[in-house]
Amino acid sequence: MRRSLSAMKLLAARAAPIAVLLVLWQAAVSLGFVNADFLPSPYAISIAGVDLIRGGELWSNLGVTMLTSFGGLVLALLIGVPAGMLMAKSRVADSLLGPLVKATYSLPKTALIPLFFLWFGIGATTDMISVMLACLLPLLVYAYHGVHAVPRVLIWSAECMGTPPARIFYAIELPASLAAILTGLRIALGFSFVLAISAEMIAAKSGIGRLKVEYGENGAYDYMFAAVSGIVIVAFAADRGLIAYHACAALGRSHTTRREPPDARTCDGTRSANRAALPSAVCHHHLASGCKLRLGASDIPAELLVGGS
């Protein structure tokens, strides 16, 4: 009961600024402080939105924009995250792709949309390519820094116990860099909607951007604002969903890291004296000999060399 009340209070506190803004907006239009022909009231926008929903025009165009946005985002995710991790793991890949990333990072992606229309023609494919390129760099950069931020002591200890590189990547580096990747994904999510709307406004046969241009040119600003409100609600819901997934992933990871192994033993079969301490979980023999052969004695932290020469 207390949790439900606190949740309702939190929801009310977050919704209060939006409610106040809508009330002031409606009052400004109703009292004549703002010309309703150029800035319709929230009530007029809601009436236009209901009309668009009943006619099916909002659903069809919203589906096109969502397909373009999420399609380009998925393509960027499939390309950017592996590329960023590869750059973090390989100096050759970093030297080859690093200058290209630095040169194009500050480039406004909307400036490339007319060129894409010239090269690939007008259509959903061109819009999706524009979205993909805009979302690619945030995902790549955050994946790169996420892998670089993984504590080296975790990788050293896994290598000392003979863990294969593939297992180290999936069990240590990927989970540890997940928070950074999700942060880049959230930034890329906002870019995806911006680029999808921008591409549709320049040249498209359907979509919320095209709907906005058509109603704006005809002076039907209440319908224009209603169309924009539809994509704003979808973008807000997608962002909240991503934040909820991030919180759930972080909570699950914290429970996993707190769980002790059923039987932590060293390589010689003796039980570890302290399972929570990292040196006791790492093989003493490998720390003293094996790791030095592969990593070099200077690469191993001093606190791990318990009994080492």
Tell me the CATH number for domain 40-151+165-256: 1.10.3720.10
The predicted pLDDT at position 65 comes to 92
The predicted pLDDT at position 158 comes to 83
255 pLDDT tier (thresholds 50, 70, 90): low
Q: Give the span between the Cα atoms of 156 and 291, in whole angstroms.
A: 8
159 pLDDT tier (thresholds 50, 70, 90): confident
Residue 260 predicted with pLDDT over 50: no
267 pLDDT tier (thresholds 50, 70, 90): very low
Task: Report the predicted TM-score, pTM, of the whole model to 2 decimal places.
Answer: 0.73
Residue 231 predicted with pLDDT over 50: yes
Q: Give the span between the Cα atoms of 229 and 5, in whole angstroms.
A: 29
Counting Cα atoms < 13 Å in the Cβ hemisphere of 242 gives 19
Q: Which of 120-124, 133-137, 184-188, 227-231 is predicted with the least confidence, judged by mean pLDDT?
A: 120-124
The domain locations on the chain are 40-151+165-256, 269-309
The predicted pLDDT at position 290 comes to 42
* Mean pLDDT of the region 276-290: 40
Q: Is 173 exposed, middle or buried (0-12, 13-18, 19+ CB in 10 A)?
A: buried
Tens-place pLDDT, residues 122-146? 878 888 888 998 899 999 999 999 8
The predicted pLDDT at position 29 comes to 87
* Mean pLDDT of the region 250-258: 57
The predicted pLDDT at position 243 comes to 87
Tens-place pLDDT, residues 22-37? 899 889 888 888 888 8
Residue 138 token pair: 């945030």
The predicted pLDDT at position 1 comes to 60
Residue 162 token pair: 């003979």
More confident residue, 146 or 256: 146
Residue 296 predicted with pLDDT over 50: no
288 pLDDT tier (thresholds 50, 70, 90): very low
Residue 277 predicted with pLDDT over 50: no
Tens-place pLDDT, residues 100-123? 888 887 777 777 788 888 888 787
* Mean pLDDT of the region 89-98: 87
Percentage of the chain with pLDDT > 90? 23
* Most confident residue range from 8-17, 95-104, 187-196: 187-196
Q: Give the span between the Cα atoms of 179 and 149, in whole angstroms.
A: 11
Neighbours of 202 (CB within 10 A): 19
More confident residue, 147 or 302: 147
Residue 286 predicted with pLDDT over 60: no
pLDDT, the chain, mean: 78
Residue 291 predicted with pLDDT over 80: no
CA distance to 56, 110, 232, per residue, from 135 (Å):
30, 12, 18
The predicted pLDDT at position 289 comes to 39
